[in-house]
Structure 1
């Protein structure tokens, strides 16, 4: 017997979005806060909400229209949104400058959360399990590279951290990829707990999979022992 899938309340992603945008607005428009200086908060105020809403919008376009009765995977949405809140909160509490290990922990944990959510959304029909881990880890590596390019373009290339940027970037890429790999393993573990092999789930981008041959829902004659 498998346990039922964990249900995330729909208000959780909303709270994550509001808390992130609220802090970004304070950082951008509240004058005299030194820890927010030269951190590209104007760009983040535009980009972060867009990225946080991308998963729900894509799910609505890809799944919602084809399966109007499908329940949105609010838990996956929350996982995708959480890293943006963690990042902004770290700036608000000045953790990047006061806690030595915060930035490194951020890259590992945030990529674990982000790719955990993405993995739940896109790997529902991916088999075998090692392919799930490889896909999630690969997506994480690509997103880590994109993030580092964005950081370099927005504030590193014209800031005071250019001298140490190379070593820091290598560490961030490694930690992000490790976090994504961990997320892939957890997605595989989660899928095994949520449902037996061959059954569908409403937590991904592709619900409503047909029953496996010979599985639940197949009707046919039962062959008598010895019959040919």
Structure 2
């Protein structure tokens, strides 16, 4: 086994959150934290850079707890911030995975894609994932729990924030800042 990394502590928090969320808040919270726990394993499994790993894990944990504890109702702007950050980080992680498996190139490799291509690909990936996220929220609201917040303004704001987050990730990836030194 590889050595422990800082984000492994966040994976333990995700496991404890799964157990606590299920016991204290019911099966919907348990399902949310089950997805978060699985999500926190992805950067570890693919060997993502430490900063990306930890920031991504922390962000999805905060996003889940904010939903379970209704922080988005108490602090309305938090939803947009979390959507921007989470979508950008998820898009960056997907780009890293594509580089790792040889389906894309990091901006600073010899087989380099143009910066604009990295930016467009990351932004498109993040935007697509933001749409999937919103479809999941709608499904959850419609079929699982009507307390899941949806609505035209919420969905439009979340999609816009996700696109901005994905664009920022694309700019950082295109400049080579996020995946500097990463090779296949």
Q: TM-score band (shorter)? A: 0.7 to 0.9
- In the alignment, is residue 12 of structure 1 matched against residue 15 of structure 2? no
- In the alignment, is residue 25 of structure 1 matched against residue 19 of structure 2? yes
Shift of 1:178: 0.9
Distance 1:145 1:182, change over 3 A: same
| SS of aligned partner of 1:11 | coil
Question: Could you say which residue in structure 2 is the equivalent of 1:46?
Answer: 34
Cα deviation code 1:151-182 (max 9, x no counterpart)? 222234551567x5233112111110110000
Unaligned runs of 5+ residues in structure 2 are 100-104
Question: Could you say which residue in structure 1 is the equivalent of 2:102?
Answer: none
- In the alignment, is residue 188 of structure 1 matched against residue 174 of structure 2? yes
| SS of aligned partner of 2:83 | helix
1:1-228 maps to which residues of 2 (within 5 A)?
10-30=4-24, 36=25, 40-57=28-45, 59=46, 73-91=49-67, 94-121=70-97, 122=99, 123-124=105-106, 125-157=111-143, 158-160=145-147, 165-191=151-177, 194=180, 201=181, 203-204=182-183, 206=184
Conserved? CA contact 2:88–2:165, under 8 Å: yes
> Aligned partners of 2:95, 2:58: CA distance in 1, in Å?
15
Distance 1:165 1:93, change over 3 A: closer
> Aligned partners of 1:10, 1:178: CA distance in 2, in Å?
33
Q: How many residues align?
A: 171
| TM-score normalized with structure 2 length | 0.76
Shift of 1:116: 3.1
Unaligned runs of 5+ residues in structure 1 are 1-8, 31-35, 61-71, 195-200, 207-228
Answer 1 or 2: which has greater helix percent.
2
Report which of the two structures shows the higher radius of gyration computed on alpha carbons.
1
> Aligned partners of 2:147, 2:36: CA distance in 1, in Å?
24
| TM-score normalized with structure 1 length | 0.63
Conserved? CA contact 1:79–1:117, under 8 Å: no
